C-alpha cells in the first residue's frame, strides 16, 4: 500500500522530510486502513515558518471580517457536500458507528457556521468612557498570531473544528497536529479549507507522534498560542513546554464525570425508562471514549436494585460490531493499547471489591466482530467506592461504575470528589432540587434530566484538572484573540508635569 501524503505546508502536500510513514489500522479488524506520512521536527519547523510568514506578511490577518466569515460558511457547505464520505472515513478510522460519524460532520458544520455568524455580528470595538469629551478610548480585538493546535483521537474532526473555526474567524494562522492514530478525516478537512479559498500558509498540517511533533509545536518560539485536547499527563507536558516562551495556552484534559440519579426521577415508568436510557447513553456512546462520558453513575440508594438490574439487562443487549455495519450500536475501541487499558481497569476494580453486573470481557467473534478487532463488552461495575482506581481515573472505555447515596449533600460530595471537573448530570423530578444540585457541582457543563448535548454557542471546558480556558461560545473565540486598548487624545496639549 502506497503512502498518502498527509503533511501540508504552505499550500503543498508532501512526504515527511525523513521519509517516515505510519500504518493506520482499522480498529474493527486491525488491518491496515492507510499508510500516512510520519512527520518530525524538521516538518514541524517548516510548518511553523510557513504559518509565521502567512501571519506576518500575508493577507489573512488583515482580511475583512465579512470575507473570513464567508470562507467559514463555504467550508460548512463543503462539509455537508462530503457528509457521507467524511462520516465513513471517521467511522473506519475511529471505530465509531456510521451514524455517529454523520452526527460529527453535522456538529462540525454547526461550529463553522456559528463562528462565522459570531464575528460577523460583532461591533468594531468596545468604547471605554474616559471621563472626557477630548478622549476617544476603545478596546479592540486582534488575532493572537500563529496557533499550534493539537487534537485527540476520539473525535478528530470535531475537536479540530472547535479550534480551527475560531482561529480562522479571528484572523490567525495555524499548524495542526491530529492524533497519529486517527489523522484521516483531518486531512480531508484541510483539503476542504484549500478548496474554500484559504490562502496558502494559513493552515498547515503535520501528522506524527506527540514526541517530537507536539512537543516541538508547544515549545517553538514562533508559536504564539497552543491549544491542546487530550489526556492529563500529555497536557501538563504541553503546558510545561509552552511556559518557556510564555505562550497563551488552552487545555481540555478530560474528566471523570458523575451522573446523579435521584429516586424522584423514576417516580413513574416513563421517568425510570428515561433515566436508565440516559445512563446507557452517558456511558457507552462511542464505547465510552468520550471526555464527557458519564462513567460514574451515582444512584439514590432506594433506587439501586431495580435500576442496576435493568441497566445491566439493557447493556447486555447493546449490539457491538463494526461501525459501518447496519444495526450496530457500539463499535470497537480505537487501539490495542486502549483495549489493554480497559481490561486492566476492570481487573483492578474487581480486585478492589467491585461487583461485575455485565460485560467485563471481550465478546465472542462474529461476522460483524472479527476476532482481531479491539472489541470489549459494555461493562457495569456495581458496589464501587470513591477510593477505587476505576472510580478516580479516566478510563476512556465502555466501563460504568455504580455508587450510591442517601442524602442530597452526600450526592454532591460524591460528584465533586474528583480532581477533574468537566461535566456532570442530575436527574430529578424535583426542578428546585435539580437546579440546586446543578449549582453546587464543580463541573464546566451540567445537564439536568439529559446527558451529552452541547451547543456551539455555549462554552465548553472544565474546572480543576479538566483544563484551562474554554472552547466554543464567545469565550472560545476570545481564546484566539488579544485585547488592545487604543486611547486617543483628541486635543493634545503639554502636561507640564515637569517645570522644564
Told to judge if 252 belongs to the known catalytic residues of this protein, a careful annotator would answer yes
Q: How far apart are CA 253 and CA 282, in angstroms?
A: 18
d(CA 158, CA 168): 15
d(CA 460, CA 83) in angstroms, rounded, equals: 25
CB 334 within 8 A of CB 183: no
Cell of 157: 474532526
Other Cβ atoms closer than 10 A to 449: 16
Instruction: Kindly name the residue from 90, 100, 180, 252 that is annotated as catalytic.
Output: 252
Annotated catalytic, 358? no
- Check: CB of residue 203 under 8 Å from CB of residue 174: yes
Q: Which of 147, 266, 291, 358 is catalytic?
A: 291
Only one residue has cell 502636561, namely: 495
3-state helix, strand, coil in the chain (%, to 5): 40, 20, 40
Contact between 421 and 444 (Cβ < 8 Å)? yes
Q: Which residue has the cell 506576518?
A: 56
Cα distances (angstroms) measured from residue 101 to each of 6, 84, 95, 96: 21, 9, 10, 7
Q: What does the DSSP 8-state code read for residue 362?
A: P
* Residue of 386, 294, 395 whose CA lies nearest to 339: 395
Query: Catalytic site residues?
Result: 252, 291
Amino acid at each position: 500500500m502506497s503512502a498518502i501524503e498527509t503533511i501540508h505546508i504552505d499550500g503543498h502536500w508532501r512526504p515527511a522530510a525523513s521519509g517516515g510513514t505510519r500504518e493506520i489500522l482499522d480498529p474493527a479488524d486491525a488491518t491496515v486502513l492507510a499508510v500516512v506520512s510520519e512527520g518530525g521536527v524538521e516538518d514541524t519547523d517548516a510548518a511553523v515558518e510557513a504559518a509565521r510568514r502567512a501571519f506576518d506578511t500575508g493577507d489573512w490577518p488583515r482580511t475583512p471580517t465579512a470575507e473570513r466569515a464567508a470562507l467559514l460558511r463555504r467550508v460548512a457547505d463543503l462539509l455537508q457536500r462530503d457528509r457521507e464520505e467524511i462520516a465513513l472515513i471517521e467511522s473506519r478510522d475511529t471505530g465509531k458507528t456510521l451514524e455517529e460519524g454523520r452526527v460529527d460532520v453535522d456538529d462540525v458544520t454547526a461550529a463553522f457556521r456559528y463562528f462565522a455568524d459570531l464575528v460577523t455580528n460583532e461591533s468594531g470595538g468596545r468604547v471605554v468612557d474616559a471621563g472626557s469629551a477630548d478622549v476617544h478610548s476603545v478596546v479592540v480585538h486582534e488575532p493572537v498570531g500563529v496557533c499550534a493546535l493539537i487534537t485527540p483521537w476520539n473525535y478528530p474532526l470535531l475537536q479540530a473544528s472547535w479550534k480551527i473555526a475560531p482561529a480562522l474567524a479571528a484572523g490567525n494562522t495555524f499548524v495542526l497536529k491530529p492524533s497519529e492514530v486517527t489523522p484521516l478525516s483531518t486531512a480531508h478537512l484541510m483539503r476542504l479549507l484549500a478548496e474554500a479559498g484559504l490562502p496558502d500558509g494559513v493552515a498547515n498540517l503535520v501528522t506524527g507522534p506527540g514526541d517530537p511533533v507536539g512537543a516541538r509545536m508547544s515549545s517553538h518560539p514562533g508559536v504564539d498560542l497552543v491549544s491542546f485536547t487530550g489526556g492529563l499527563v500529555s497536557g501538563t507536558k504541553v503546558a510545561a513546554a509552552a511556559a518557556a516562551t510564555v505562550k497563551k495556552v488552552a487545555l481540555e484534559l478530560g474528566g471523570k464525570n458523575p451522573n446523579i440519579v435521584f429516586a424522584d426521577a423514576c417516580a413513574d415508568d416513563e421517568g425510570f425508562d428515561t433515566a436508565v436510557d440516559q445512563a446507557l447513553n452517558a456511558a457507552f456512546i462511542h464505547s465510552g471514549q468520550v471526555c464527557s462520558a458519564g462513567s460514574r453513575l451515582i444512584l439514590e440508594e432506594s433506587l439501586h436494585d431495580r435500576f442496576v438490574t435493568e441497566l445491566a439487562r439493557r447493556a447486555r443487549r447493546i449490539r457491538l460490531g463494526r461501525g459501518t455495519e447496519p444495526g450496530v450500536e457500539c463499535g470497537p475501541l480505537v487501539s490495542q493499547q486502549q483495549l489493554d487499558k480497559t481490561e486492566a481497569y476492570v481487573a483492578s476494580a474487581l480486585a478492589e471489591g467491585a461487583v461485575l453486573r455485565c460485560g467485563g470481557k471481550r465478546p465472542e467473534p462474529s461476522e460483524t466482530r472479527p476476532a482481531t478487532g479491539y472489541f470489549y463488552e459494555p461493562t457495569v461495575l456495581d458496589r464501587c467506592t470513591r477510593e477505587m482506581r476505576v472510580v478516580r481515573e479516566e478510563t476512556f472505555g465502555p466501563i460504568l461504575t455504580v455508587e450510591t447515596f442517601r442524602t442530597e449533600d452526600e450526592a454532591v460530595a460524591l460528584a465533586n470528589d474528583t480532581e477533574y471537573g468537566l461535566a456532570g448530570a442530575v436527574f430529578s423530578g424535583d426542578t428546585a432540587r435539580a437546579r440546586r444540585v446543578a449549582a453546587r457541582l464543580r463541573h464546566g457543563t451540567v445537564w439536568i434530566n439529559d446527558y451529552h448535548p452541547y451547543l456551539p454557542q455555549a462554552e465548553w471546558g472544565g474546572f480543576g484538572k479538566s483544563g484551562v480556558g474554554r472552547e466554543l461560545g464567545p469565550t472560545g473565540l476570545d481564546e484566539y484573540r488579544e485585547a488592545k486598548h487604543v486611547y486617543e487624545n483628541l486635543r493634545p496639549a503639554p502636561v507640564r508635569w515637569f517645570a522644564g
